[in-house]
Structure 1
Amino acid sequence: MKNNKNQEHLLSSVKNALRILRSFSLEEPEKKVTDLAASLGLGKSTVSRLLATLASEGFVAKDPETQKYRLGLTILHLNTIVTSNLEINRESLPILQRLVNEIGETAHIAVMDGLDVVYLNRVECKHPVQILSHVGRRNPVHCTSSGKVILAHQEENLIEQVIEKGLEKYTVKTITDPDDFRDILKTVKEQGYAISIEELREGVASVAAPIRDYTGKVVYAISVIGPIHRMNPHNTTIINKVKNAAKEISERLGYWKN
């Protein structure tokens, strides 16, 4: 019985340590013990103990002046290992670079994780704008072109899960009506690409196309994102370049359409 309690305590500690690591973001790269304790619903002593353990292994680092913690170099090392071994990153990089050179806007590779879209790879253009799409960034599926183009090719139950979660309104152009959203996904699937115009952030537009793995399943998306005063997402040249890039990456991943 004692061993079971010790094991449960250990698993709980591991889970809380991971929660601490995941709480850091670009918006909040540094946090105090009190901030973490409040946001995670944990005691300050528990958070302090877990942070000390994480710091001893290099997962977090403490600023002696501000007393705030930030992610450590061990995280960067692990991230390098993960990204360098992702086949999609290796195969997509030269195509992303070419797309940026041809269109002049930033290009990304994204994947669905849970009910969000996460950016795995990114090549910036020469004149980037401040957009919410850095590598590792999680964005809502329903108001991003990458999210919509991946979701459009998934099972109905997953689409309904996204709708049931709630189509949160980010701008006046965010699609929040479930029926409208379902219709848009049908159109996206038929035409083979998705666009987003100021649905997540005002002044920003994007075009995305689906990337298939060797089984033919849509797993990733490639997109170009830029300010609406520079990029017209309805431009057929841009749309075709994005679709062709998606097709080329799909073939590199082993997908061949009969």
Structure 2
Amino acid sequence: MGTSTNQDYLLSSVKNALRLLRSFSMDEPEKKVTDLAASLGLGKSTVSRLLATLASEGFVIKDPETQKYRLGLSILNLNTIVTSTLEINRESQPVLQQLVNEIGETTHIAVLEEMDVVYLNRVECKHPVQILSHVGRRNPLHCTSSGKTILAYQEEEMIERFIEKGLHKYTSNTIVDPVDFRSTLKTVQEQGYAISTEELREGVASIAAPIRDYTGKVIYAVSVVGPVHRMDPYEPSIINKVKRAANEISERLGYWKH
């Protein structure tokens, strides 16, 4: 085997190992070899070799009874390093805690990754509810307040690419009409915040505002999420507190509004 061919093989193996690790989620924390092979489009023997290598380094663990694999503690160690060194987490932590104290609901920091919104930081309230927003969770852009907030400030070309993929309907409140969705994004830009009421999950509402980096570009969003019976996202005082928090975090990241 030539040098270039061998390098290609090694790079392909690394890529497949990373794809394998990313295939685990909160919805599917454990998987069998056959499940992984089918979802990744790889042979069972290839997946078995990758899992054996990852297991030797503590990145996956095999349950001897179920024969299923799950992520190992080495992943947790890396996650701790990443989250502790992220500037956005350091700067947003006290602001998120203050929001929780003021509003009484769970707060988050989210970022755009590919065509999803990913949660980087979270401070829970005293009485949290089951919501789809844990740290590391990927959620769709069009039916979350964080997603709509960040997307509204992106280039028109990216917005159109996202819409062309299709707006999946999660609840009866999900915006699936492209015209309505474009109008919603324009409103978000005009008012400086986004609201999602039972668009991703019934019984859950959220409000988010944009966070800018030192160049003025919207990179993140801060959001408050709670049950509809406990939190009214249209309440002016809540909207003002979320927008104020977004401005404070933006300033902490170096943004200065002239």
Tell me which interval the TM-score lies in, with the shorter structure as reference length: over 0.9
Aligned equivalents of 1:190, 1:38: Cα separation in 2: 45
CA-to-partner distance for each residue in 1:16-59, whole Å, 9 max, x for gaps? 11111011111111111111112212111111101000111111
1:202-221 alignment to 2 at 5 Å? 202-221=202-221
2:16 counterpart letter in structure 1? N
1:184 counterpart letter in structure 2? T
SS of equivalent to 2:202? coil
CA-to-partner distance for each residue in 1:186-223, whole Å, 9 max, x for gaps? 11001000000111111110000000001111100000
- Paired residue for 2:154? 154
1:137-176 alignment to 2 at 5 Å? 137-176=137-176
1:93-104 alignment to 2 at 5 Å? 93-104=93-104
- Paired residue for 2:78? 78
- Paired residue for 2:233? 233
CA-to-partner distance for each residue in 1:93-122, whole Å, 9 max, x for gaps? 011011011101000000000111000000
Across the aligned residues of Structure 1 and Structure 2, the Cα RMSD in angstroms comes to 0.9
Bigger shift: residues 5-14 or 206-215: 5-14
Aligned equivalents of 2:247, 2:179: Cα separation in 1: 30
Give TM-score, length-normalised by structure 1.
Answer: 0.98
Aligned equivalents of 2:65, 2:173: Cα separation in 1: 44
1:1-258 alignment to 2 at 5 Å? 2-258=2-258
| Paired residues, number | 258
Displacement, 1:65?
2.0
Aligned equivalents of 2:256, 2:120: Cα separation in 1: 23
1:162 counterpart letter in structure 2? F
Gaps of 5+ in 1: none
Identity of aligned residues (%): 81
Aligned equivalents of 1:29, 1:181: Cα separation in 2: 33
2:147 counterpart letter in structure 1? G
Give TM-score, length-normalised by structure 2.
Answer: 0.98
